[in-house]
Structure 1
Amino acid sequence: MNRLKTFIEWQAFGVCAAVGEKMGIATSRIRMWFMYISFLTLGSPIIVYMVLAFWMNIKRYMLAARRNPLRYL
């Protein structure tokens, strides 16, 4: 059950989990404030969330390519 929770948190809520880990704040609190701010500002933080998700994904590919440069040829 713990593996499922970890998988869902990092795949579906990877941005909130990563921000919480970097700042030392509970992930649930980050998600809660993200929802509150999204409702108050009519969803504009979703754009920031998407940019951060894109950045994290690119960063993961860059690290993988650095470890094995022939992987993506």
Structure 2
Amino acid sequence: MSFINKIKYFFEKHGFEVSSRLAERLGMRAKNVRLFFIYISFATLGVSFALYLTLAFLLKLKDLVYTKRSSVFDL
């Protein structure tokens, strides 16, 4: 068994166990718990990406407004 397959097997064994135990405690199907985590990861990635774009836009806008001028004639 290769190293990559050992890592894959380890994460599959322990990662799915977390979902199934949580689903058992909540009285749900493990499939629904896994889908919930997948959807949440996409949603939070989208929010952070939108926040990044907003901050980049605001910084660019700030740089355009507050540019340092060397003399009065640069207006």
Same fold judged by TM-score > 0.5? no
Bigger Cα Rg: 2
Bigger relative contact order, structure 1 or 2 (CA pairs below 8 A, ≥6 apart): 1
Q: Could you state the TM-score of these two structures normalised by the residue count of structure 1?
A: 0.41
Q: Could you state the TM-score of these two structures normalised by the residue count of structure 2?
A: 0.40
